[in-house]
Chain A
Amino acid sequence: MLLVVEQFLNGLQFGLLLFLLAAGLTLVFGIMDLVNLAHGSLYMMGAYFAATFAAWTGSFLLGALMALGATLVLGIVLEVTALRHLYGRDHLDHVLATFGLILFFNEAVRLIWGPAGLALPLPAWLTVPVPILPGIHYPAYRLAIIAVALLVALLLYLGVMRTRIGMLIRAGASNREMIGALGINIKLLYTLVFGLGAALAGLAGLMQAPILTVQIGMGENILILAFVIIVIGGIGSIRGAFLAAIFVGMIDTLGRAFLPNLLRQVLSGAAASTAAPALSSMLIYLLMAIVLVVRPEGLFPANRR
């Protein structure tokens, strides 16, 4: 029981974290039609910035806030200097160009911070276990991640669906020329959207940093997960990304936790313990394959045009 609740919360926490990453990816993808492989690099930069700033200021929160700002600025610089010139080009061009950016960021990090990973220690008040049910404790920091991610998801939803900027963003997604003709500065709008996406990736990275080591290439595995999520959810759909992210986070976490035991019921111990890690890593790709075969447009395709 204890394990089930704990793993369930872990799944939720991982899913919400994935959502932050996937939301930025799907915004940029759905609105600007830009395939950004370097999104994982922004996640990595968020983690490195946070570890650095926290060490400088001696405060976790201050460091996290500064890192958030820094990834936002980095995203804007990236959009203005490079990615802006790729709109309207072939998806393959995007893949190649942003693949180059991955190489660049990984190497830049190696140059600046060195090849060894960094650690981002948590302040004492975030490490305490919090009682959530009678007899069941859960780490405060993971609860904080869940709270922050839910809050951001809500703000994002309200921002996109209820504000004027959100309306422009949605309009820009369905007809770029029209919104430009209406006198809206579409260039600025795109820059802002990209910056927002970068900040979301940075937020995911800096929040994950205390749990994992901050290291080079940390964005690459998780980027693929984020892509899986937006494909399952339907490209360009925030709601789809949210549901798919929770789903993928759960399946991944629960699969890793319980699959070995399940397999042990049918296979010999040795066979089960070798098959389980591979199978649990495969689960979400299997899920994506099934979804795409059944619904090639994803589960919750965005209503477009």
Chain B
Amino acid sequence: MKSLSVSKAVTALMLAGLVLLPLYSSLSGNVFILTLFTRIVILALAAASLNLIMGFGGMMSFGHAAYLGIGGYAVGMLAQEGVGSGFIQFPVALAASAIYALVIGALSLRTRGVYFIMITLAFAQMAYYVASGLARYGGDDGLTVYKRSDFSGLINLSDRTQFYYLCLACLFGVIFLIWRIVNSRFGLVVQGLRSNEQRMQAIGFPAKRYQLVCFVISGTMCGLAGALLANNTDFVSPAVMYWTRSGDLMVMVILGGMGTLFGPIMGAVVFLLLEEFLSQITEYWALIMGPLLLLIVLFGRGGIMGMLGRAGRG
């Protein structure tokens, strides 16, 4: 029980920190930290969506950045065409990600293991090249989003604090949804499929259909992150979908603790803060970051959540 309390305390502290961050930012006059954490919260949302299929479903998607791009391009392209309403942009972003996930998932789920990792990667690379070829929408150079999504005065996305809280609300909403899914009958079947697909199939569950639905839910959530990201950077480019970005998301999930509810948030916060912190010390921050990841894999099994659990027991 004691082990639980340590990781719970750290998690609660982190969540409280995220909620109170704008207050600190306005009191200290540090605007940069709010911008930084908006980005962290959005990528935490993407990592959480990946964790749903990777941690709970055992499906290692190495192409999750594609949804970031699809969600982002939905916002950017609509804005370019003069459709500025967020009430249209966001549903379109979610729907586009869902449809992409449905097609990709249906094809990829025919394979498993390393082949699944590779085929999801291949499809994401395809999306990357499609975006590079969109001459009307900037091609390789990317697309500037001149106006953030307009929610008819309900929320003003250009206001830093309001936008931050919107992102945070989306993150908490997604985490809540994942919690409900994981503990539902559907979620239990998906987790059962992770440990023994043959047995679940023998009991009579249509394995692929359950996994596909889970895959689509995850992709849609990540599409939401993409739509937020485009609003945050006022820019979307094929680079968002490049495979190393999918790697970043994977690193966040594994770093934080795969298959734990709050692990991906922890992973995103630590990974991006470390990146920020190290890049302030030295231009060559990746020189430290790289081996650090290696050490975490070698000695920190179960990610930060796992380490916190062990620290509590120790």
The residues of A with any CB-CB pair to B shorter than 8 Å are: 29, 35, 37, 82, 85-86, 89, 91-93, 95-97, 99-108, 110-111, 220, 224, 227-228, 231, 235, 274-275, 277-279, 281-282, 285-286, 288-289, 292-293, 296-298
Minimal beta-carbon separation of B175 from chain A (angstroms): 22
Chain B positions within 8 Å of A227 at CB level: 118, 121
Contact A220 B294 (CB under 8 A): no
Contact B113 A100 (CB under 8 A): no
Contact A285 B123 (CB under 8 A): yes
How large, as a class, is the contact surface on chain B?
35 or more
Q: Does B233 contact A (CB under 8 A)?
A: no
Interface residues in B13-40 (C-beta closer than 8 Å to A): none
Task: Name the residue of chain A whose CB is nearest to the CB of B255.
Answer: A96
The one of A106, A231, A281, A288 in contact with B129, judged by C-beta atoms closer than 8 angstroms, is A281
The CA-CA distance from A207 to B54 in the complex, in Å, is: 38
The CA-CA distance from A86 to B291 in the complex, in Å, is: 14
Minimal beta-carbon separation of A269 from chain B (angstroms): 13
Q: Does B70 contact A (CB under 8 A)?
A: no
Which stretch from B179-187, B190-198, B246-254 is at the chain A interface?
A: B246-254
Contact A100 B297 (CB under 8 A): yes
Contact B250 A103 (CB under 8 A): no
If A278-B132, A281-B129 touch, whether A103 touches B293 (CB-CB below 8 Å) is yes
Q: Beyond the given A93-B297, A228-B122, could you list 4 further A-B residue pairs with CB under 8 A, ordered by the A residue number?
A: A82-B298, A96-B254, A96-B297, A107-B286
The CA-CA distance from A224 to B297 in the complex, in Å, is: 23
The interface centre, meaning the residue of A37, A108, A227, A286 with most chain B CB atoms within 10 A of its CB, is A227
Contact A97 B293 (CB under 8 A): yes
The one of A82, A224, A298 in contact with B121, judged by C-beta atoms closer than 8 angstroms, is A224
Interface string of B81-116 (1 = CB under 8 A from A): 000000000000000000000000001101111110
Contact B132 A224 (CB under 8 A): no
Q: Does B158 contact A (CB under 8 A)?
A: no
The CA-CA distance from A107 to B130 in the complex, in Å, is: 29
The one of B112, B134, B294 in contact with A97, judged by C-beta atoms closer than 8 angstroms, is B294
Closest 5 CB pairs of A and B: A278-B133, A104-B290, A100-B293, A103-B290, A107-B286
Chain A positions within 8 Å of B60 at CB level: 91-92, 95
A-B contact pairs, 10 of them (CB 8 A): A85-B298, A91-B113, A96-B255, A103-B290, A103-B293, A231-B114, A278-B130, A281-B129, A281-B132, A292-B107
Contact A296 B126 (CB under 8 A): no
The residues of B with any CB-CB pair to A shorter than 8 Å are: 54, 60, 62, 107-108, 110-115, 117-119, 121-123, 125-126, 129-130, 132-135, 139, 243-244, 247, 250-251, 254-255, 258, 284-287, 289-294, 296-298
The one of B121, B130, B292 in contact with A282, judged by C-beta atoms closer than 8 angstroms, is B130
Contact B132 A100 (CB under 8 A): no
Contact B290 A91 (CB under 8 A): no
Contact A224 B294 (CB under 8 A): no
Task: Name the residue of chain A whose CB is nearest to the CB of B112.
Answer: A296
The one of A89, A100, A298 in contact with B289, judged by C-beta atoms closer than 8 angstroms, is A100
Contact B119 A107 (CB under 8 A): no
The CA-CA distance from A100 to B286 in the complex, in Å, is: 8
The CA-CA distance from A106 to B283 in the complex, in Å, is: 13
If A101-B294, A282-B126, A288-B122 touch, whether A277 touches B284 (CB-CB below 8 Å) is no
The CA-CA distance from A104 to B298 in the complex, in Å, is: 16
The CA-CA distance from A95 to B254 in the complex, in Å, is: 10
Contact B107 A289 (CB under 8 A): yes
The one of A93, A274, A289 in contact with B133, judged by C-beta atoms closer than 8 angstroms, is A274
The CA-CA distance from A43 to B312 in the complex, in Å, is: 43
Minimal beta-carbon separation of A151 from chain B (angstroms): 29
Minimal beta-carbon separation of A43 from chain B (angstroms): 16
The one of B110, B285, B290 in contact with A102, judged by C-beta atoms closer than 8 angstroms, is B290
Minimal beta-carbon separation of A25 from chain B (angstroms): 11
Contact B286 A86 (CB under 8 A): no
The CA-CA distance from A224 to B118 in the complex, in Å, is: 9
Contact A92 B126 (CB under 8 A): no
If A100-B292, A278-B129, A279-B133 touch, whether A35 touches B114 (CB-CB below 8 Å) is yes
Minimal beta-carbon separation of B109 from chain A (angstroms): 10
Contact B111 A296 (CB under 8 A): yes
Minimal beta-carbon separation of B307 from chain A (angstroms): 15
Task: Name the residue of chain B whose CB is nearest to the CB of A220.
Answer: B244
Contact B284 A111 (CB under 8 A): yes
Task: Name the residue of chain B whose CB is nearest to the CB of A93.
Answer: B297
If A96-B251, A104-B290 touch, whether A292 touches B298 (CB-CB below 8 Å) is no
The CA-CA distance from A150 to B64 in the complex, in Å, is: 37
Task: Name the residue of chain B whose CB is nearest to the CB of A278.
Answer: B133
Chain B positions within 8 Å of A29 at CB level: 114
If A235-B114, A286-B126 touch, whether A277 touches B133 (CB-CB below 8 Å) is yes
The one of B115, B132, B292, B297 in contact with A292, judged by C-beta atoms closer than 8 angstroms, is B115
Minimal beta-carbon separation of B85 from chain A (angstroms): 29
Contact B122 A296 (CB under 8 A): no
Task: Name the residue of chain B whose CB is nearest to the CB of A274.
Answer: B135
The one of A95, A231, A297 in contact with B250, judged by C-beta atoms closer than 8 angstroms, is A95
Contact B290 A101 (CB under 8 A): yes
